[in-house]
Amino acid sequence: MILIKAFAFGAILSATLGLVIGSQGSSAGPLAIHLVDIADARVYWSWPVFFSGSGLAFGLMLLQR
């Protein structure tokens, strides 16, 4: 259950940072932000931010147990 919550936090963080940085036309170097087509929507996404945000959230939730 903790892992699912961590993935949700990582997805929110990645979508938020991707929207802010990607809409300015930048890929932000190592963050590798790119435009992804999901159904009829276009979303800026970053896998490195998703995995690092999920790992950070997972570690913080484990520390709170």
pLDDT digit string (tens) for 5-33? 999 999 999 999 999 998 888 878 888 89
Q: What pLDDT sits at residue 30? A: 85
- pTM of the full predicted structure? 0.87
Q: What pLDDT sits at residue 23? A: 86
SS3 content of the chain, % helix, strand, coil (to 5): 65, 15, 20
pLDDT digits (tens, 9 = 90+) for 46-62: 999 999 999 999 999 99
Q: Tell me if residue 51 falls in helix, strand or coil.
A: helix
Q: What pLDDT sits at residue 22? A: 87
Instruction: State the residue for tokens 């970053």.
Output: 46
Region 31-43: mean pLDDT is 89
